[in-house]
Chains A and B, each alone.
Chain A
C-alpha cells in the first residue's frame, strides 16, 4: 500500500510485541453494531492514473482567456524563485512552531512577515495572518467589539459585498447591529458615515480602494471615530499600498487585507491570506499566532510564539478567537514574494497596474455612451464603467471572443445593472487592452 511502509513480517513482529493476534483485535472496542454499514470508496489508483484524471478535469476549466476580472482578487506576476523556495519540505511539512528551537525557520519568517505587512500599512503590530481578507475583517470587528464593549458596527456599502455577507453570517448570533451606509455613485458617503458613528459605535469599517476601485482619504472619518471612542477599521490592497496613503497615516486602528495579491495563485478562492495589523493598544485583542523576538540563556537571538494568553489552547472559551491552524505557508509565500520583488519592484507593479487601468478606462470612454460611474474621483488599478446596456450582455458577448471583460455589479448592487468592474495588473499589455476596447465597441 502506498505510503505505508510495514511489511507483513514487520506487522507480525509489532503485533507480537503488543500481544495481539491480529490487527482486528486492536479495534475490538468498536462494537459490531457501530461498524460501517458500507464503505463504498472506489479502489485505489496508481499515481499516473490519478494525475491523468486530475489533468483531464483541469483541462475542462477555461484559464486561457484574457481576463480583466478583479474584485479584490488579482493576477499579479509571481517570480519563479517563490515557487522553488516554497517547495522546501522543511517549510511546508512542518506544523505550527510549538517547539521553537526546532522551528526557527518558520518563526523568523513569521516575524519578518509581521514586520513587512506592518511597514506596508504603516501600522505598529501584525499577527501571523488569518484565513483570508473576509475573515480578517470579521476578526477585526470582533476586536473592536471586545475593546469597546459596544454592539453597533457601521459598515460602508462600498466594502466588498462578499465580505459584508461573511460578516453578517458570523455576527447573527451575537446580537450585534450592523448599520450599512449606502455608497454614492461608487464613492463612500463620508457625511453619512460620519453621522452614523456615535457613542454607541464599536467600529466603522471601510475599504481603500473601495469595491468600485475608488481611492479616498478616511482621515477625517477616523478622527470622528476616535472622538466617539469607536475603532476605525480599513480593509486594504497590499500591492497598491506601496503607493497609496496608508491606513496608519489616515489614523486607522486596525488595517486588514486579502494577501492573495502578494504572490498567491488565484486557485479558485483559496488558500489565501488574511492580513491583520493594528495599533499597539489593541494587540492583546488580536486573534491567532504572533511571533516575537527574544534570546536564549547564552544570549543568542531567537523567535517564539508570544502573547499566547490570548489563544484557544490556553484560554479555551475565553480566547480572543477560536483560530488554530491559520495560513502560515501563504504568509511565507507573501513574504518571499515581497522580498524577491522588493520595494522598487512592488512599487512598479502598483504603478504599472494603475497605468494600465487608466489606459483601459481612456480607451473604453472613447466609445460613445460608455462613462465611468464617478468620473470625478481617483481610482487605482480598477474602475467601474457604465454601459448603455446590461453589463452581463457585454460579459457574455466578450466571453465568445475569449475575454473576461470584468465583473457586472448588478448582482450585489441593484440599480447598477449596467455597471462593470474592470481591473488591470502589470501583466496586461496595451495590445490586450486595445483588443478589449475593440470587442466592447463591437458588442454594443
Chain B
C-alpha cells in the first residue's frame, strides 16, 4: 500500500493560516477576529488528523479552504443570533437559502486575492505603536503563536500576549478590513513598509540568538514584501526598494552568521558565501525601483547594500560612494545608528582618526548608550590607530552590553585581537 507523497512548502501551514484568517475576518468582520482564528485553528486540526494518516491531498490549499468554509458556515449558523457580522453579510446569513452560497462566493478564489494585503494594512493601524504592528503581523499573517512571537523578540510570553491582545482590541474597533481604495492608502502603505522593515531588521540584527528564528523572520518579511509587490496598487518604487534591500542583505546572511552560530562583521565575512542569485534579484528590484521622484530610506539602504555586493573585499569597496549614500540617508532619516555606520565608512575612506572624530560628533550619541556596537566601533578604530589598550577598554564596555551569547563571543574575539596586537 502506497501513501501519496505530495511535498508541502516548508511553512505551508503558517502561510495558509495568515491567508485564511484574513479571508474569514473579511467575512466575519474585524470585530470577530477571534472567531475567524478559532475557525482556522479548527480547520488546521482537521487537516492534521486527516493528512497524518491519509497523506497530503492533491490540492492542499483548496482542501483547507473548503474545510474552513464549512466550519465558517457552521459558526455563522450557530452565532447569527448572538453576534453581528460584516454588514454585507448580515441579511444574507439569516436565511438558509442564501447562507452557504454567499459564503462560498465570499471565500472564492477571486475574492481572496486582496485579503492578505488588506489585513496587513489593518495591522498597521495608526493607533498602534510600531512594535505592536510588527507583533500583530507576525501573529496574524505569519501564523506565529504567542510563544513563537515571544521567542522572536526575546520577550516574555506574558508581555507579548498583553501587546497582541491590546493590539487586537484596536484592530477590532475598525469593523472592516482596511479598504485599498481608502484616502489614507499612501500613509498606511508607508506604515506597512516600516513594519516590514522592522520585522526584517529584527531577524537580521535582532537580539534573538537562534539562527532559525532569525532566518524565519527575514523570510516572512521578504514574503510579505512580495505580497505588496504583486499588487498593482501597492507596488510602488518604495515597495520595490524595500524588497531590494531585504534581498541584498539576506544574500549576506549565511556569511554573517555561520553554521556554528558565529557572527562575522562585513570586514571578515567570507564573501564567496554570499548568495549571488539573491544579489542579482535584489539588484533587479533596485533598478526598477528607480522611478518616480521619491527617494526613500529603502532606496538608499538598498543602494548601500548593492555597493557592498559589488566589492570583492572590504578594501576594494567604493567607500566614498557609501559615505555619500549615508549622508543622503541621514538627511532623510537622521539616526545615531546610521551616523555610526557613516563614521565607520568614513574611517575606511580617510583613516581611523577621521572615523573617531565623526563618532564623537554624532548628534544624539547618548541614544547609543545601550548599543554594543557603539563601543565596539570605538574599539575597532582605536585598535586600527595602534592603541590596543584603549581599544580593549571599549570592547570591554561593549561586552557588558552584549545582548546574546553570539554577540558576546564576537566581542570576545575582538578583545583577543587587542591582546595579540599589544603583545
Do these two chains really belong together in a complex? Answer: no
Measured CB to CB, the residues of A under 8 A from B are none
Chain B residues at the A interface, C-beta cutoff of 8 Å:
none
